[in-house]
A and B are shown apart, each in its own frame.
Chain A
Amino acid sequence: MTDHSQTKPRTGVSSELTSVKGSQEREYHIALDRVMCEIEALRGTAHPRLAFVEEWMAS
């Protein structure tokens, strides 16, 4: 099972994190993003980025 959070920085989420205040809220977003990575890993997809995230990253 690939840990995508280690191999692929999800800059879409990171860009959102720059606008949130407080370490607790950042930890929340990071934790939610980790859950997404684990869900994608369960699906066994090698390049699991969602179209939504791709668009987010491109903007």
Chain B
Amino acid sequence: MSSLSETEFLYDSNEGDAGAQAAQDRLDYALGVFVEEFRTNALRNLDRVDHILGELPEGAADAPTLQSIQAILSNLAGQGSSFNFDLISELGEMTCAFLRGRIEGSSVQMALLSKVTEAMRLVLQQDVRGSGGLTERALVACLREAFAVD
């Protein structure tokens, strides 16, 4: 039994070209809904991270807190690549690697995390797909250096 593509599944052959276009429109609409849902959830997850960071005593975090933040960002990174938000995925993965490293959870490191969530929020709100342009690549380079030093 042959499998149907997404467009074929939505396509009524009796409708001819108009049916094909209508099927494509329905598919585009459905994908758009999924993407919007991802962006909404991603922004909520960034809110969760910011809330955690805002509640830290004297701005410093312990190991369980760092793991909680890492779990949120890891999930966000995975979903980002699925929806063509490669930059979000890259920033998330970079930050997770930072959290998995020799980080002790100092207030400066947590302030750095706060800047990461701010940048990710800007990227999501601007709906930047793919890996971004010059400014976004400068951000990645900036963070790569910051994560290597701090």
Contact = CB atoms under 8 A, between A and B. Distances in A.
Instruction: Tell whether A and B belong to one assembly.
Output: yes
B137 A35 contact: no
B30 interface: no
A35 B115 contact: yes
Contact of B112 (A39, A50, A52, A53): A39
Interface residues of A, number: 21
Given A36-B142, A40-B142, A42-B108, A13 B119 contact: no
Interface in B106-150: 108, 111-112, 115, 118-119, 122-123, 125-126, 133-139, 141-143, 145-146, 149-150
Interface of B: 108, 111-112, 115, 118-119, 122-123, 125-126, 133-139, 141-143, 145-146, 149-150
Interface string A8-33: 00001100100000000100110111
Contacts of A43: 145-146, 149-150
Contacts of B137: 52
B139 A35 contact: yes
